[in-house]
Structure 1
Amino acid sequence: MAFREFDAPQLSRRSLFRSGAWLSVGAVAAGVPGASALMAHDVGHAFPEVAKLADNYVSQRKVANLLVYLGRGQEDMAHTVGGGKLAFGSDANVGEDSLYRIYSMTKPITGMATMMCVEDGHFGLDTPLAEILPAFSDMQVLKTPDGALDDTVPAETQITIRQLLTHTSGLSYIIDAKGPLLAAFAENGLVGGRVSRMPIPGLPEVDAAPSLEVFADRLATLPLVAQPGTKWIYSASLDLLGRVIEVASGQSFEEFLTSRIFEPCGMTSTYFTVPESERSRMTTNYGFLGDMPIPIDPGPSSVFLDKPSFPAGGGGLVSSPRDYDRFLQMLLGYGQIDGVQVMESDTVRTGVSNILPAGVDTTGSWIEGEGFGAGGRSSNGSYGWGGAAGTLAAADFRMNMRTGLYTQYMPPEKYPIRQQFIEALATDLMAAKAAA
């Protein structure tokens, strides 16, 4: 089938990059006393509903793979459920070291990197952004989200680091901006996620800003869509925090992540640019022509093999289930993993907790009635986020669990895999507890 025959409405930038709402394991199964102890059981017996879910999607060829990765507390061993191939037609099985585009699952990593800067004393949660990036000292706010870029009123308060971490700064995103603001985002290359080397109908081609510095400077020239600290609006703020980290720490954003998180956590397969030597581990990402999955970013020639214009803290990373699980393990260890103190325990406790500004309006948003931490949802003792290609991961502190869901298709709303996964996992946990 010709590439140009894609169903364009399914492949708008807005639909591709929305993370989608998701529930934590704790939100569904928190009433299961002692459920975390079930992680010591063999997965073939303990998670039949999860296994059935994965098998159904893969055997029906809805997705090329669906791998669930589960760990308990600080135990190094994690269990896998499901599987599949790196791509339809491939002979290579996916596993814990396969490489997945995690997109917005990058945000919790950037959030924790920002919290490290707080820990280092570079700034506080309520430090004005303009103290670090002066270009943001005189922001304007659109009177209407789709209005003319000069139809504005002055921002009543300064943007803070807390607001950037929690999507409450008033900034917008290329996936949600409207009218002239959307055009300005595209013209200025203010996009943090890559999809394909090939043009995709319905997805405008955008030349990304050439560096984080330029990204930040250009973003500062555009108006906000809400007064800072008043509304939860999914935004480019985690991408912007990459530049904040650079200026505050004196290191490049990528160097900071590598030296402060990836290396001490033993995350050896997390990249902004996938090395040529690791090409064979890369999964293929799919879009859809009706219900037919069509490769939009084949693993062997993925756009993520190219160096990006800038390292996007909001959606730029590729990682493996094993690697991301190491990040979750560090969080569940309150900053410690394998005897290494990566972050102070109080820093982790703050970062995974609800740090939303007081009085912020979350009505109608993905997090209505819930909390938000440093770059990820904070709800019922669980902290994490999902990615635009169907992935999902969380550290659940109430259940002492690490959970990850890995597959590759866009947009994530095509299938309800993530909600079904949470429900299946909760069913398995409750059934096993009842049997015990």
Structure 2
Amino acid sequence: MPSPVTRFIVAITASLSLSAIVAAQSSGKPFDPDFVRNLESLQETLIEKEVTGSNVILVGRDGEIVHRSVRNSGRQGDRDITEETLFPIWSMSKPITIVAMMTLHEQGLFDWNDPVSKYIPCFADLTVREGDTVRPAKTPLRVIDLMTHRSGYSYYPSVPGIPPRHDQPQQSQTKFKDLQEFCEVAAAYPLDFDPGTDFRYGINQAILGRLVEVLSGRPFGTYLEEAIFEPLGMTETSFVLDAERRARFQPLYINIGDLNGYTNLLDELNYDPDSKAHFGGEGLVSRPDDYAKFCEMLANKGDFRGRRILSPESIEAIRTVYSEDIFPELMPGVDMGFSVFVTTDPESEGHNTPLGVFGWSGYHNTHFFVDPDSNAWAIFMSRARDFNGTIPPRLRAAVYGERSSN
């Protein structure tokens, strides 16, 4: 009986040419010989098991896209992915914010150990919650703490499904008119621990967005346009959805408990063209081929087709480990750099991913990794909840192959 998955591949790359296969193995760590078949099998399985709806994968090496495939579900309420489809990339916004900070650091505008209060004064007198009490923080919040998720801030609410308290700094474009307002609420809220003493995934890039504004003298979105999007030709990546862009926004597939179907009603962010609350950890909308240019630049150690965006030293800084075993059950074998996972123990991962590969994921199941030592990268995009933490290692395993048990 034929698979229910519609086997659709974008016409311009319907099959890999021999030259593309050669390019996939041209330098660095070789891809698995069956990586194309592995990836297409992964895409189909995710649809058949109702993990995602329609999905797309792009893989690049040495400045070329060597594999591109779309699998459409054909299900009622889903929409076929085209070259014009837009996705909310959620936490895949974080590496873009990190790169923005790296460009400002290369200009000498701040030091990693600077207190954040030097630039955003409301962070001067932070507090820490200990049980039922709140005390003054023993250490200042530094820029490096925001870059590495060692600030003491979490995400709010910390328990899924429970609405946030009125005083919690949740990324809301209806509550906050701009990033300074958000920072003032964040600064007034107690931290989970003293800055720099532990790891906790949280709202750090939203605060970094405001820091970019102060350091650059530009609105956050404007600086991203000038420093990253325009040089890379990322014309479809933005914090905004106008009527034309919203018509290309992929529906959300939700499969949680008794809910199973497609909707356009759970965006969570409003992507309002008039909003200035542009959250650097969550807020961007992009297209696979746009984000591929960002990955190409990272994989080529900061150079994009002859135009340097970052120095090789900045790429190395991004994948320098600051916290180990960040999510040992969900993400074995990886540590945390500048808001990206970094592979440090391939044996724990169970496949042949090289050391030093880095990347991240988004809430609605967008995922990417970059391998600067092999000038290679891969992107998976869908729009689905719940988040599935098995997709990133399966994506890497499909590209690099499973580790032999011998």
Q: How does 1:110-189 map to 2 (within 5 A)?
A: 110-144=97-131, 147=132, 151-176=133-158, 186-188=165-167
Q: Which residue of 2 aligns with 1:98?
A: 85
Determine whether 1:372 maps to 2:351. no
CA deviations on 1:83-137 (whole Å, 9 max, x unpaired) are 21697445x5314542111100101111111111111111111111111111111
Give 1:7-406 correspondences, 5 Å limit.
36=29, 38=31, 46-59=35-48, 62-75=51-64, 77-84=65-72, 88-89=76-77, 93-144=80-131, 147=132, 151-176=133-158, 186-188=165-167, 190-192=169-171, 207-288=174-255, 290=257, 293-297=260-264, 304=270, 306-307=272-273, 308=275, 310-354=277-321, 356=322, 370-379=334-343, 380-406=355-381
| Counterpart contact for 1:190–1:208, Cα < 8 Å | no
Q: 8 Å contact 2:300–2:375 — kept in the other structure?
A: no
Q: Aligned pair 1:420/2:394, yes or no?
A: yes
- Aligned partners of 2:340 and 2:395: how far apart in 1? 19
Structure 1 residues 113 and 305: alpha-carbon distance in aligned structure 2, compared to 1, 3 A threshold: closer
* Distance (whole Å) between structure 1 residues aligned to residue 242 and residue 57 of structure 2: 25
Give the deviation of 1:256 after TM superposition.
Answer: 0.6
Could you tell me whether the CA contact under 8 Å between 1:47 and 1:429 is conserved in 2?
no
- Which consecutive unaligned segments of at least 5 residues does structure 2 have? 1-24, 344-354
Alpha carbons of 1:139 and 1:286: their partners in 2 closer, same or farther (altered >3 Å)? same
TM-score in terms of structure 1 length: 0.75
Count of residue pairs brought into register by the alignment = 367
Task: Go from structure 1 to structure 2 and tell me whether the alpha carbon gap of 1:281 and 1:156 turns closer, same or farther (over 3 Å shift).
Answer: same
Of the structure 1 ranges 419-428 and 158-167, higher mean CA displacement relative to structure 2 is found in: 419-428
Whether the 8 Å contact between 2:301 and 2:372 is mirrored in structure 1 is no
Distance in 2 of aligned mates of 1:291 and 1:57:
19
Alpha-carbon distance change, 82 to 262 in structure 1, aligned in 2, over 3 angstroms? same
Amino acid aligned to 1:400: N
Residues 127 and 136 in structure 2, CA contact (< 8 A), matched pair in contact too: yes
Q: CA RMSD in A?
A: 3.2
* 8 A Cα contact 1:141 1:227, kept in partner: yes
Cα 1:114/1:303, change in 2 over 3 Å: closer
Instruction: Assess if the C-alpha contact under 8 Å between 1:104 and 1:315 holds in 2.
Output: yes
Residue deviations 1:200-250, cap 9 Å, x none?
Answer: xxxxxxx43221010011111111110111110011111000001111110
Q: Equivalent pairs: percent with the same residue?
A: 26
CA distance in 2, matches of 1:365, 1:239: 27
Report the alpha carbon displacement of residue 338 of structure 1 after superposing the two structures with TM: 1.9
Mapped to 2, the partners of 1:304 and 1:103 lie a distance apart of: 13
Distance 1:109 1:314 in 2: 9
3-state SS of 1:240 partner: helix
Kindly state the Cα deviation for residue 82 of structure 1 after the two structures are TM-superposed.
3.7
**Offset from partner CA, 1:36-68 (integer Å, 9 cap, x none):** 5559x9xxx642122112123335655321211
Per-residue CA deviations over 1:291-318 (Å, capped at 9, x if unaligned) read 653234369x996553346101010111
CA distance in 2, matches of 1:361, 1:416: 16
